[in-house]
Amino acid sequence: MDKQTTPVMMLFPIDKAQNFSDKYLFLGKFLSKLVFSLKYDLQKAEIGLDAERYCLASLVSATIYGFLFMFVGLAFGTIISKGITPFTLTLVFVFGFGSFISMLIFHLIYPKLAAVQIAGLVDQELLFALRTMLIQLSSGISLFESMKGISKSTYGQVSTEFAMVVRDVNSGMSETEALEKLAFKTKSEVLKKTIWQVITTMRSGGSIVNALSSQVDALVAQQVDAIKAYAAELTLWTLVYLIIAAALPSLGITFLVIASSIGGSGIGPEAVTLIVMLSLTVQVAMILLIRSKVPKVVK
């Protein structure tokens, strides 16, 4: 994520948050204390803003959402009640306050979600990048030159992570310090474990090639296990999907037809349409759920 990119659904630009007056930062400091991990999540999500200013920007954005949805509640209440009634005012409050709280919570947890997403992107490309490094190190190329090559390659988020290491080393930081910085920053447990293995090997004077080779083997085994577990789980989800997508709608409509014939009433097109729409909604939800369970190693 670019450091100047405004987070998803935030209505207040991040680059404008740098200009907040210090006298308003007490609100941001209060919110940042409620989400104590926000400071580290912002770093891992590559959002270039301190926790206090991010919280204040989130508060402003949530307030804008609150006012917008107050008008939505006013419109709904006016249409339903045919005027400004206590029910309309209740809807205005519920819509406004509910959207304010919901969006504030979403903004505050977004950096953690973004960091997890970045970690997934790292895990997708890490095995290929480590294999490339292993080949280069085995052929006599130094660790720094290998990392420099990875940073210029097309390994997605992995190249971005190593580019930061290369930049830190070029600015005067030692290789171990730059790698430690990446290990603390990254949300990818696999990359974190690999980096600490390399750092430990460098400090003990061991072979980095052997350390990387063992990590590659362990990563391959881990990915194979993840794919096998997903394949086994997919069989169950396929059965559940077939029951919900085919069996339940057919049985539901059949039951309603039988019940309506016994009761002397008919089943209208509205009921059939409602069942079809409900079935489609559940199917889409299940497809998204199954898709979210795909191992990160699978592109």
What average pLDDT does range 257-272 have in this prediction?
65
What pLDDT is stored for residue 228 in this prediction?
85
Q: In which band, very low, low, confident or very high, does the pLDDT at 108 lie, cut at 50, 70 and 90?
A: very high
pLDDT at 3 over 50: no
Q: Nearest to residue 187, comparing CAs of 132, 118, 138?
A: 118
Q: So what's the pLDDT on residue 37?
A: 85
- pTM recorded for the entire structure: 0.65
Residue 63, pLDDT > 60, answer: yes
- Predicted confidence (pLDDT) per residue in 236-249, tens digit: 888 888 887 777 77
At residue 268, the pLDDT reads 63
Tokens of 175: 């290789």
Query: How crowded is the C-beta side of 167, counted as CA atoms within 13 Å?
Result: 10
d(CA 33, CA 57): 15
Give the three-state DSSP class for 288.
Answer: helix
Residue 97 above 60 pLDDT?
yes
pLDDT in tens, 142-189: 999 999 999 998 888 899 999 999 999 999 999 999 999 998 888 888
> Could you report the per-residue pLDDT of 25-36, keeping only the tens digit for each?
888 888 888 888
> Taking all residues of the chain, what is their mean pLDDT, rounded to a whole number?
83
Q: Which sequence spans correspond to the domains of the chain?
A: 14-115, 121-208, 220-292
Percent of the chain with pLDDT over 90: 24
The pLDDT of residue 291 is 77
Which residue, among 200, 170, 171, has the nearest Cα to 183 in the 3D structure?
200
